[in-house]
């Protein structure tokens, strides 16, 4: 079963992180909603964080993982929030299991196909040879040869940890993920539809959800509404956490 961090008691609220992320990325949101009467489950997806690692990796498998998690924890009428890769997983899960969904929130991703665009990140992460026992500073310097943006590197290096061999390692399985990189951008099949209310929330500086995408999104999510978080890009929950939280809270509280 998927690993999770759980905060609070009350209505079930599941959060699915994005590609190369983990549950820790959502600790702030979890601790904000927990006192408001929610039991927040921040999941590590397969091949990420502390969850199991497997060569098999696609959206249907990840959706099935979430379903198994809900079944084993007796979760129903859930609020489901997914960001990026987690958002595409949440869309598929909601379309296949609408009876389990109370509220659906998709953060900065659409159902359309996205061309591969993580090549430099993958190359940078694969360039790290942990058998040479690099320090965190060494890892950052290696990855910086491929990824110039400091914020992106800091996000990735949050997954560093000391393993049983007293060596640094990434919690995500970059080998398995790199071999399945084409899966990340795959389209949500056109026949998949979700007829309940859903909030799509994008970053003002992000290009993942364009104005030109809205009509196509409405074909699969006819009751969608769209909000834009100002002064934020793809990591909108970290770049403008106040507005992001307020949009979520308002949508969740709507009748």
Catalytic residues: 84, 234
d(CA 208, CA 202): 8
- Which helix (H) or strand (E) segment holds residue 125: the answer is helix 119-126
DSSP 40-67: EEEEPPTTSTTS---S---HHHHHHHHH
- Cα within 13 Å of Cα(110), Cβ side: 24
Residue located via tokens 């790290």:
128
Q: How many CB atoms lie within 10 A of CB 98?
A: 13
CA distance 84 to 89: 9
Residue 200 in tokens: 């799509």
Report whether 232 contacts 240 (CB < 8 A): yes
Q: Are strands 38-43 and 4-7 parallel, antiparallel or unpaired?
A: antiparallel
**CA dihedral of residues 66, 68, 71, 76 (deg, nearest 10):** 20
Distance linking the first and last C-alpha atoms of the chain? 33
Q: What values do phi and psi take at 40, rounded to 5?
A: -95, 120
């Amino acid at each position: 079963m998927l690993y999770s961090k759980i905060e609070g008691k009350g209505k079930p609220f599941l959060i699915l992180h994005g590609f190369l992320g983990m549950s820790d990325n959502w600790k702030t949101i979890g601790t904000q909603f927990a006192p408001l009467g929610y039991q927040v489950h921040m999941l590590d997806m397969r091949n990420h964080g502390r969850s199991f690692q497997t060569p098999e990796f696609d959206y249907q498998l990840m959706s099935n993982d979430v379903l198994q998690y809900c079944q084993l924890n007796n979760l129903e009428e859930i609020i489901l929030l997914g960001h990026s890769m987690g958002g595409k997983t949440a869309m598929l899960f909601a379309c296949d299991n609408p009876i389990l969904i109370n509220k659906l929130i998709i953060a900065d991703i659409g159902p359309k196909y996205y061309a591969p665009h993580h090549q430099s990140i993958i190359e940078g992460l694969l360039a790290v040879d942990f058998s040479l026992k690099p320090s965190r500073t060494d890892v950052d310097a290696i990855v910086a040869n491929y990824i110039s943006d400091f914020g992106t590197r800091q996000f990735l290096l949050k997954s560093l940890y000391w393993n049983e061999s007293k060596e640094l390692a990434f919690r995500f399985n970059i080998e398995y993920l790199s071999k399945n990189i084409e899966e990340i951008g795959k389209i949500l099949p056109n026949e998949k539809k979700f007829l309940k209310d859903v909030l799509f929330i994008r970053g003002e500086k992000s290009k993942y959800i364009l104005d030109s995408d809205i009509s196509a999104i409405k074909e699969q999510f006819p009751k969608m509404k769209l909000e834009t978080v100002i002064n934020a890009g793809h990591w909108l929950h970290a770049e403008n956490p106040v507005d992001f939280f307020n949009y979520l809270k308002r949508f969740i509280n709507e009748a």
